[in-house]
């Protein structure tokens, strides 16, 4: 079986192990373990381990289960699920212990990842709510500043500060937009598309801005580009960011 099995006596000597125990504790052969103390060979301890499951079963004569962190080669943490089952003589006295060890490291990592993802979803929902609450007054600030610039004759110093207000409002709004994009689930819709058309459409979105800022945008695309499987909307977002 894929779980480790060992039999231990009352002196914590290893009487028998299966091959999986060798893998878990990085031992070469059975001679490395048989007749030796489990606490020393398994966990490199000089004495009986704290919260030793075998000790608990010897004391209670009942099955005992625990989770133990074991630091293997290279100090990599391995999580072990350990159960100890008593072997009794005809008088009911515990004479040996069967120790069942299961490596649950991958399962624990998966559980931790799921917990982290759940927290990230909660953070995303919270961020989304806060972002919407901030975005509306921020838009009012920017619009009010633009209105003042366009409708009133103002001193140059006042205009300069209003432009700073508008610029920083736009920067803050951009951060909020990125936050909302992060919070929203990314749904990708793939279909065959012409990459040349995607780039042309993206460039067309910036024509007015380029003219206003005296920027000459040059587009060079080779002919006969094959169609690709893609999400046009996401590609346009990517090219827009560039």
Q: Report the pLDDT value the prediction gives residue 131, as an integer from 0 to 100.
A: 77
The pLDDT value given to residue 186 = 63
Instruction: Report residues of the chain scoring pLDDT below 50.
Output: none
Q: Give the model confidence (pLDDT) of 88-136 as tens digits.
A: 999 999 999 999 999 999 999 999 999 988 888 787 777 777 777 887 8
Q: What is the pLDDT of residue 77?
A: 84
Encoded tokens for 110: 């998966």
* Res 194: pLDDT: 92
Q: Tell me, what's the pLDDT at 184?
A: 64
């Amino acid at each position: 079986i894929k779980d480790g099995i060992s039999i231990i006596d009352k002196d914590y000597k290893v009487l028998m192990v299966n091959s999986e125990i060798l893998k878990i504790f990085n031992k070469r052969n059975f001679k490395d373990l048989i007749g030796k103390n489990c606490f020393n060979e398994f966990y490199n301890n000089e004495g009986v381990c704290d919260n030793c499951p075998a000790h608990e079963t010897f004391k209670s004569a009942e099955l005992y289960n625990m989770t133990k962190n074991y630091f293997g080669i290279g100090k990599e943490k391995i999580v072990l699920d350990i159960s100890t089952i008593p072997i009794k003589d005809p008088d009911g006295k515990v004479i040996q212990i069967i120790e069942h060890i299961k490596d649950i490291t991958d399962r624990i990592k998966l559980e931790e990842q799921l917990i982290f993802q759940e927290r990230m979803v909660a953070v995303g929902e919270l961020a989304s709510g806060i972002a919407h609450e901030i975005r509306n007054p921020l838009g009012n600030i920017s619009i009010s500043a633009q209105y003042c610039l366009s409708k009133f004759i103002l001193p140059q110093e006042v205009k300069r500060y209003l432009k700073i207000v508008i610029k920083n409002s736009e920067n803050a709004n951009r951060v909020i937009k990125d936050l909302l994009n992060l919070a929203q689930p990314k749904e990708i819709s793939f279909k065959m598309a012409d990459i040349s058309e995607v780039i042309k459409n993206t460039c067309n979105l910036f024509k007015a801005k380029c003219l206003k800022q005296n920027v000459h945008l040059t587009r060079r695309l080779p002919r006969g580009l094959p169609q690709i499987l893609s999400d046009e909307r996401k590609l346009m977002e990517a090219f827009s960011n560039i």
